[in-house]
Amino acid sequence: MNNGECFHWQLGIEILSLGRAGADAAYARFAGVRPEFERSRVWGQRFSWVQGAPLGSDARSVVFGGLFGAFGVRPSLRGEEVVARPAAALEGASFRFGLMGTDVTLAVVNGAVVVVAVF
């Protein structure tokens, strides 16, 4: 992995892990990092030491870690697993993602994650 890629991967894992302890903490970390991505191109790019050039954004790890962590959900081979209550700030929010060839839409309703649709 290249320098930016390692940072993004580790930050995504950190936020996902925070979600297991409490989705509010994961949401706070994710929301706190977002302005830095908007302010600085360095945080949002991946640099190749072999090619000596930026290769583009690889912030997917942070985005997915942040979303899954803040929703208190972990994707697995058995489907989505709720591991914590979702962050209170996400009340009314929804999250759609692909899992094992299926599209799943989750929503936060009355402080709980519910499966809205499976396609």
Please check whether residue 31 lies inside any domain of the structure: yes
Q: Is residue 36 part of a domain?
A: yes
Residue 108: closest CA among 63, 67, 54, 49: 67
> Averaged over 21-26, what is the pLDDT?
92
47-99 tens-digit pLDDT:
565 666 656 556 677 788 889 999 999 887 777 788 899 999 999 999 998 88
The Cα 53–Cα 68 span in angstroms is 31
pTM of the predicted protein model? 0.76
In this prediction, residue 117 carries a pLDDT of: 80
Examine residue 114 and state whether it is found in any structural domain, yes or no: no
Looking at the 3D structure of the chain, how many domains does it have?
1
Report which of 67, 77, 72 is spatially closest to residue 31, judged by C-alpha positions. 67
State the pLDDT at residue 1.
47
More confident residue, 7 or 2: 7
- Residue indicated by tokens 């979303």: 67
- In which domain, by residue range, is 35 found? 3-88
Q: Which of the two residues, 78 and 19, has the higher pLDDT score?
A: 19
Q: How confident is the model at residue 41 (pLDDT cuts 50, 70, 90)?
A: low
